Amino acid sequence: MTTTAVANQLVDLCRQGKNEEAITSLYAENIDSVEANEMMGPKVQHGMAAILEKHKAFEESVEEFHNAEISEPLVAGNTFAITYLLDATFKGRGRMTMEEVCVYQVKDGKIILEQFFY
């Protein structure tokens, strides 16, 4: 699968709220994930199991989703980026709007790196 195809499929699945399916179908087993800070747990995580656990913890931290907006992907070579805007109420933290740039690197049709800037 090309980088553009991976990017478009990731955006499509995430817009449908199928984030876990996006992870299991598009991410490489040995993926690396880099957060901007340690607000969501360890800043750097490695491997599909760690990414799924991080996703589960995030989902459990949300009391209510109000809105999410995901941009079209910007593709260059084996890398693509999207912007993600999330409006949600978090357990014990109240309602927050979060905006981030998400950058992904693709190899052999799978995402091998995700990095978030916020």
The CATH number assigned to the domain holding 73 equals 3.10.450.50
Expressed as residue numbers, the domain containing 25 is 3-117
Q: What is the pTM (predicted TM-score) of this model? A: 0.93
**53 Cβ neighbours under 8 A, 6+ residues apart:** none
Alpha carbon distance 6, 15 (integer Å): 14
Across 28-53, average pLDDT: 92
Q: Chain-wide mean pLDDT for the chain?
A: 95
Number of structural domains found in the chain? 1
Q: How confident is the model at residue 20 (pLDDT cuts 50, 70, 90)?
A: very high
Neighbours of 6 (CB within 10 A): 23
CA distances from 32 to 24, 78, 82 (A): 14, 15, 17
For residues 43, 29, 113, 107, the Cα torsion angle rounded to the nearest 10 degrees is: 170
Cross-strand pairs, 82: 102
Residue 67 pLDDT:
95
**Is the Cα dihedral 117, 10, 32, 55 positive or negative?**
positive
